[in-house]
A and B are shown apart, each in its own frame.
Chain A
Amino acid sequence: MPGESNLNGSMAIRTESLCRYYAMGEALIRAVDGISVQIASGEFVALLGTSGSGKSSLLNLIAGLDRPTSGTVVVQKSDLAKFSREELAKYRLHTVGMVFQSFNLIPSMTLLENVELPLRFAEVERGKREGLAKQALERVGLSARLRHRPTELSGGEQQRASLARALINQPQFLLADEPTGNLDSQTGTEIMNFIREFNETLGMTIIMVTHERALAERYASRMIFLADGKLIGDQSNAVAATGGPSRGGGL
């Protein structure tokens, strides 16, 4: 079953015997322990597992936030392990967009400034930045909230703003770490619909970490199961691939 789901045929992300160990005092934590997986461009992949299964660690490795202890992460034919710190930053800036469970907006900045921040790092001209940021916020329905600070907004609004920020540099990959974890089910659905829309209309490859199997089954085209840092299952999900209304989880 693994590697079967070549939707568009082109391989976007490939990991080979990927390992990430942490030293915790005397003990060695094998957060990611020899994972080899291939993700095609345009896929909507859910990384499933209990807490401590290594799914977030795997996502961080793919996001270029962390470096593997051994093994390789090849994204569009280049090995992240061989990137310099500078190149990794550029990769995070242009190639991937990230969304987190706790939104991770900078509290001292307005929504507009938060969304504009990656444009500053990308050295986009001053005059163009505000327009682009407004456009992105409009896309997630936050036009009325441009000058608000994150703390003045609901969780759903904050997560939508962080989606806008993730999109601002037009990355190919959206990496989401429990994006609905802090939201009620209705707002969660709202966020998931946005993510699905990005997948379908923008052709973005989505990798979403979640522990909710139901959510994965509803939206993801493929589910990868992890336990103790190892890959224990990989299956495509025909239901979600249609993009139609959810019929509920199989469990």
Chain B
Amino acid sequence: MKTYDMAELAVRNLRESILRNSLTTVGISVGVASLVAMLSLGIGLQQLAGRRLQKSGLFDTVVVTSRRDLRGFNREQEENGPAPAESPALNEDARQKIAQLPNVLEAYPDIRFITELHYADKPYLTMMAGLPFSAKNNDAFDGMQGNFFSSDTAPEVILQKSFAGQLLGKTPKAGSEEASVTDLAKPLLGKQLTMRYAERTATPSTSQAEASNSAGTAYSVISREVTLKIVGVCDLDPDSMRGQARARVFLPLKLAQNLHVMQPSDLRDSTNMAGGTPAFTTVEVHVKSPTQVQTVEDAIKKMGFNTFSIVDATRSLRQFFAVLDLFLGIFGSLALAVASIGIINTLVMAILERRREIGIMKAIGASDGDVKGLFFAEAGVMGVFGGIVGVALGWTIGRVINLGTNVYLKRQHFPPEQIWFVPWWLVLGAIGFAIVVSLLSGLYPASRAARLDPVQALRYE
């Protein structure tokens, strides 16, 4: 019998006992739905964690230091590479070269300095850091009040929460609840700060002897002042692993560079009598994806710098979620396994009921294959319908869970999150899986029907 005819007959046979077959199909749907709901939540959570990690900037960042400076983060590098004195300086040229490496999104110097800020005529000594414009998307600024810098050179600052508290004279007492960012931001946003700092300016060399010894190393330090506007207060944790976070006031990176603030390393450079142009202590390199960190790191090492990165945690994250998905999938499949027993039961019952019909079909020329195919097709059709309905049902369940979670998050004053995601492969895979499970369930009943002895089947009333 042709496949089309078989499917047609199967559908009409299923329609004959519509209630029973619908119930069986509902069973498959519930199984598929639980599978889809479980897996879509697993995938959604994985994506959420992935997005969070990506935003944290922890795993796609390589920190570059010069070998001339501090010792590397591990000793091996030092022993293997060129001697510190011969290694290249980590200056603007080097930064540009690094920025042009493949898979590198950006490379920016880490500029930080301790300086004095005046607010309401009171001085505050604090650590300031330059922040690249790309940091706008960093999750550390999720709970920020106010705005990010209007441009990369705007005379603006973003305060860290605890520093804002300090400015307002609100130092949190032990045990008491911390003031919220919103409360701290209100009186401060738009206010002005005065920053006093030491500017490093290159001065032409005064004597011949000096010039031959160290060309262009001479510079003077001038005390300057600049007025900055407070545009934001953020909730960053000052003890976080992140470099910038250890500072308590942030200003645009370009602005910080242009101010030529005296860096702690400048002093050492001058005592070492090394390098003509100002060098950076560290350069942070953003890589396109955590998986490419290793290759970028290797390339930078070849240039003669020390590098440091946090081991790609997304790999272990993926591994964790693979296991989680597996377990969710197994639980989801349990319902499908129960449903498959339903299919077997329905079809075995159908064989008993349609014993005579099978006998008739055989008597008028149906082959074993025809009978087998017919029952198989019935199982398959139930699988197709069950799969489609199940995916729709699972999709709805996932949506409802997501909605519920977001209502809860909103009550807890958290931003909404997408914790549920149904990719196309899951839709097609779930329908396919339902069909495969149904066909496997149909295997036994179908071959049992095919083996039926026509003489006995015809005698059956």
Contacts and interface: CB of A to CB of B under 8 A. Distances in A.
B364 A121 contact: yes
B363 A121 contact: no
B9 A108 contact: no
A122 interface: yes
A66 B359 CA distance: 12
A97 B367 CA distance: 15
B131 to A, nearest CB: 72
Interface residues on B, range: 20 to 34
A92 B361 contact: no
Contact of A106 (B360, B368, B369): B360
Interface of B: 1-2, 4-5, 9, 12-13, 16, 356-357, 359-370, 453-455, 458
Interface residues of A, number: 29
Contact of A89 (B2, B357, B366): B366
Contact of B5 (A93, A105, A120): A120
B13 A108 contact: yes
A63 B363 contact: yes
Given A104-B359, A121-B370, A122-B365, 7 more contacts: A65-B362, A66-B454, A93-B366, A100-B458, A104-B363, A106-B361, A121-B364
Contact of B1 (A65, A90, A92, A121): A121
Interface in A48-96: 60, 63, 65-66, 85-86, 89-90, 92-94
Name the 7 nearest CB pairs between A and B, nearest first: A93-B365, A89-B367, A92-B365, A104-B360, A108-B16, A120-B5, A65-B454
Tell me the interface secondary structure of chain B in the complex.
Answer: helix
A92 B369 contact: no
A123 B360 contact: no
Interface in A96-138: 97-98, 100, 104-106, 108-109, 117-118, 120-123, 126
Contacts of A118: 364-365
A124 B455 CA distance: 26
A172 interface: no
Contacts of A63: 363
Given A65-B362, A92-B362, A120-B5, A104 B458 contact: yes
A169 interface: yes
B2 A123 contact: yes
Interface of A: 60, 63, 65-66, 85-86, 89-90, 92-94, 97-98, 100, 104-106, 108-109, 117-118, 120-123, 126, 165-166, 169
Nearest to B357: A106
A85 B367 contact: yes
Contacts of A109: 12
Nearest to B17: A108
Nearest to A165: B364
Interface centre among A63, A90, A117 (most CB of B within 10 A): A117
B459 to A, nearest CB: 10
Contacts of A98: 363-364
Contacts of B361: 106, 117, 121
Nearest to A175: B363
